[in-house]
Structure 1
Amino acid sequence: MNNKFLQEELNSLKETNNFRVLKECNSSLINFSSNDYLGLANDKELLNEFYSNYHCKLSSSSSRLIDGSYPEVMELERELEKIYNRAGIVFNSGFDANSSIIETFYNKDTLIISDRLNHASIYDGIVNSGAKLLRYKHLDMENLENLLIKYRDKYEDILVVTETVYSMDGDVADIKKLVELKRKYNFDLMVDEAHSYGVNGYGIAYENNLVQDIDFLVIPLGKGGGSVGSYLLCSQLCKDYIINKNRKFIFTTALPPVNNCWNLFILKKMPEFLEKRERLQELIRYFLSLLKENSIETSSTTHIVSIIIGDNRKIIKIAENLKNKGFLVYGVKEPTVPKGSARFRIGLNPNFSKEDLERFVKELKYEIDSVL
C-alpha cells in the first residue's frame, strides 16, 4: 500500500472541495435531506404500534441457507407474493439486489442498455457481469428505441435497466412506454423503485398494473419504506436460480428479524398511508410554487427537488449558513453530479409544515443571492 499516493489523492479532494467526512446528524434541525419520504421511520405512533405487536430478535446469526430463513422473513416473502403475484425474495440492500441480478443472470454475451443516470449499484453489476454496455440519454425513449433497432439482431440477450423516480433530478421514467418497447423488441426489463415505493404505494409498476411485464422489479426499502433491505419480484425460476447461484445472497448473513418484522408490518399497512401520500402531494405542489415565486429554478416534479447551485465551494458555504439558521440540507457535489451542476437535493415528507417550507425557501433565496 502506497501511503504517499493515498495522501496525495485525499489532498487533491480537499483542494477541489470534494473531501468527504462523517458528521453526526443533529436531530434538532429541520431535515431537508432525509429520504424518509412518508415519515414512517420517525412516526412515534406507528413505532409504538409495531413494538406492542412484534417482539423480534436483533440478529439472524446466519445466512438464509443455514438458519437465516426464520419464520418472519418467510412470511414476508409469502405476503410479497400475495400482493404482487410474483415470486418475492428479500435482499439485505437495494445495492445488493441490483448488482446481484445483473452479475448473476447476464454475461459477456449480453447487451445491457442502461439509462445514463442509473444508480451506481446498477453499474457495479454491469461491470461484474462483463456484459457489453450502452447508455441511452436520460429518459429518452426515442434514443433507447434507436439503440434497440440497431443492436437487436446482434445480441440474443438484451437487458434494459431503468429507475422509476430518479434521485438527483426528481424526474420520472415512462414505464408504460418501456413495457411497450419490451413487447415490441423482446428484451428483459429491470426496474428499480427505490424512490417511488411508499410515495406511490406499492410502487409505480404496481399502480399501473405492469408488474407482470417486468422481469426484475427491485424495491429498496431505505427511503419511502422507512427501513432497510430490498424486495425483488421476479419469476419463480429466477428466484430459485438466485438462491442457488448468487454469491451475495448465499454468503451474507440475513437481515435481523426485527428489520423484516418491520418490513412486513409496513407492507401490510401500506394502503393505510393514503392520507400521508395525499399530504405529501399537497406539500410538493406548495413547495414548487414557492420556488417559482422566488425565481429558484428546478426541473423536478416529485418529492425529490433538485436545485442546482453550481460549484462545490458555494454549495458548502450555503449549506453551512442554512445549518446555522436551523435547516439541515446537504449539497451533492462534483463528481457525483456533472461539473458545474453541484446541487441541493431536497427530500420532502408529509411532516413538514407550510411554514417550514416558507422559511426555508426565504432563507435559501437569500443565501443563493448573497454567497458569491
Structure 2
Amino acid sequence: MREEDIIKELSKLKKDENYRSLKSIDKKYINFSSNDYLGLNEDRELRIEFFEKYKNVDLMFSSSSSRLLSGTYPIIIKLEKILEKIYNKKALLFNSGYDANTCLIETLFYKNSLIISDRYNHSSIYAGIKASEAKLLRYRHLDYNHLEEILKKYSLEYDDILVVSETIYSMDGDKADIKELVQLKNKYKFKFKLLIDEAHSFGVSGYGECYEADALDLVDYIVIPLGKAGASIGAYVLMDELSKEYLINKGRKFIYTTALPPINVAWNLFILEKIEKFDFRRERLIEISEYTRNLLSKYEIKTISTTNIISIVIGENQRVNRISENLQEKGYLIYPIKEPTVPKGTARLRVSLTALHTEEIIQKFVEELKYEIDNIL
C-alpha cells in the first residue's frame, strides 16, 4: 500500500472520529472495560496459592519451540488430558482465541463447504471463513427461524455444512440458545456440523454453555478462549479425534507457532481445576448484573443486554466519544465501541461488569451516565 494511501485512510478515520490509538492507563479508574468477569486476575490470594502450589516446579517463561518440536512439554499434555476427561472430546491448546477460530475453520473447511454464521459472530470467525474459501451465508442475529430457512434451502445442495455461533455476544450482551441449535441439528439428522465459541461464557457459566446445556455430544467443535473469565491467555479447541489429528498435521497457525510458555499453561490448568469452586463469584456476577439492568431501566437508559455485558447504544461516533471522555474524566474506565466492530450508526458504550463491582459503584456510575446522555446531544 502506498504511503499516500495510508495517510489518506488514516485522515478519513480521524475525520469520522473512528481513529484508534494506544493509551497507557496511568491512573486509578473504576474499570468497566475489563473482561475479567469473575475477578480472578485481580485476586492476589489466588496468585499466591498458584505460586505456592508450583514453587518446586521449574516453570519456564518461554517454551522456545513449536508444539511439533520441543514445545509439547508434560504440563500441556496434562492440561489437554484433563480437558478431554471433562468434555469427553479431544483437546488442543492454541495461543489465542483468534488463532483457534481461524485455524479450525480454514483448515477443516474448503471451497466446497457451506458455512452459515450468525451475522454478529466475531471477526476471527469471518477471517477463518474467508481463508477457507467456503460459501458464506449469514443468518439474522439469534434468529433460528432464519437459520432454518437457510438449512431448508441448502441442506440437499451441500454435503459439508458448518453452522457457527457464539454463546454470549460481547457487543450486545445477549445470549445464544444452545438447546435450540442442537434441536435443529437433530431435526436435520446431523446434516450440518456445529461450532460454538465460548469466549464470554467459559467461567461465567462454569465449564461453558455447551457443558451446562448437556450438549457436548451434539456440538462438534467448541472453542474456549481464555482471555476473559479464564483470566489468562490461550484457547482450548475441543473436537473429535480425527479433527485433532488433521489440525496437528495441516493447521498452519498451530504448526508454525511457538507454544505457550509453561508458566501460562500451569496457570490455565490451575484455573481449570478450580472452576467449580467459583460458584460464589458467578452468583455475585448475576446479582450485580440484575441490579445494573434494573437501575438502567429506572433511569430510562435502554439496553437489550441480558448478561453481565451491558451494551448501551448511543448512535453517532462524536457523541459516544464525548460521553466516554467525560466519564473517564470522572474516574470510570469505559471506551466507545464503533464501526467496524459494530454497524455504522450504532456506536455504543460497552459496560463490562465483574464480580468485583458493588451496588454503590454501580449507583454512582449510572447517575453519571444518565447525566452525560441527557446533556451530550
Measured in 2, the distance between the counterparts of 1:296 and 1:336 equals 22
Measured in 2, the distance between the counterparts of 1:35 and 1:27 equals 19
* Of 131-140 and 51-60, the range deviating more from structure 2: 51-60
| Letter aligned with residue 173 of structure 2 | G
Correspondence for 2:270: 265
Query: What do the CA deviations read for 1:245-286 (whole angstroms, capped 9, x no partner)?
Result: 111101100011111100000000001100000000000110
Aligned runs of 1:111-126 on 2, under 5 Å?
111-126=114-129
DSSP-derived class of the 1:232 partner: strand
DSSP-derived class of the 1:65 partner: coil
Task: Please state how far the C-alpha of 1:27 moved relative to its aligned partner.
Answer: 5.4
DSSP-derived class of the 1:66 partner: coil
Measured in 1, the distance between the counterparts of 2:319 and 2:45 equals 40
Unaligned runs of 5+ in 1: none
1:210 paired with 2:215, answer yes
Measured in 1, the distance between the counterparts of 2:138 and 2:25 equals 36
1:82 paired with 2:118, answer no
Measured in 2, the distance between the counterparts of 1:45 and 1:348 equals 21
Correspondence for 2:21: 21
Query: What do the CA deviations read for 1:306-352 (whole angstroms, capped 9, x no partner)?
Result: 00111111111111111111100000012321121100011111111
Measured in 2, the distance between the counterparts of 1:147 and 1:351 equals 43
Query: What do the CA deviations read for 1:287-313 (whole angstroms, capped 9, x no partner)?
Result: 011101100000001011100111111
Measured in 2, the distance between the counterparts of 1:157 and 1:27 equals 52
Query: Normalised by the size of structure 1, how large is the TM-score?
Result: 0.99
| Letter aligned with residue 284 of structure 1 | S
Query: What do the CA deviations read for 1:207-227 (whole angstroms, capped 9, x no partner)?
Result: 111111111000000001011
1:285 paired with 2:285, answer no
Measured in 2, the distance between the counterparts of 1:180 and 1:142 equals 12
Measured in 1, the distance between the counterparts of 2:24 and 2:356 equals 22
* Of 44-53 and 125-134, the range deviating more from structure 2: 44-53
Query: What do the CA deviations read for 1:195-217 (whole angstroms, capped 9, x no partner)?
Result: 00000000010011111111100
* Of 335-344 and 294-303, the range deviating more from structure 2: 335-344
Aligned runs of 1:320-335 on 2, under 5 Å?
320-335=325-340
Measured in 1, the distance between the counterparts of 2:5 and 2:290 equals 49
Query: What do the CA deviations read for 1:90-114 (whole angstroms, capped 9, x no partner)?
Result: 0000111111111111111101000
* Of 178-187 and 223-232, the range deviating more from structure 2: 178-187
| Letter aligned with residue 295 of structure 1 | E
Correspondence for 1:63: 66
Correspondence for 1:347: 352
Correspondence for 1:201: 206
RMSD of aligned Cα (Å):
0.9
1:171 paired with 2:140, answer no
| Letter aligned with residue 166 of structure 1 | Y
Correspondence for 1:248: 253
DSSP-derived class of the 2:148 partner: helix
| Letter aligned with residue 222 of structure 1 | G
Measured in 1, the distance between the counterparts of 2:316 and 2:180 equals 36
Identity across the alignment (%): 56
Measured in 1, the distance between the counterparts of 2:136 and 2:49 equals 47
Correspondence for 1:11: 11
Following TM superposition, the consecutive aligned residue runs of length 4 or more in structure 1 with deviations greater than 2 angstroms are none
1:148 paired with 2:132, answer no
| Letter aligned with residue 45 of structure 2 | E
| Letter aligned with residue 58 of structure 1 | F
DSSP-derived class of the 1:314 partner: helix
* Of 5-14 and 48-57, the range deviating more from structure 2: 48-57
| Letter aligned with residue 102 of structure 2 | S
| Letter aligned with residue 145 of structure 2 | E
CA gap of 1:27–1:212, structure 2 versus 1, over 3 A, is farther
Query: Normalised by the size of structure 2, how large is the TM-score?
Result: 0.97
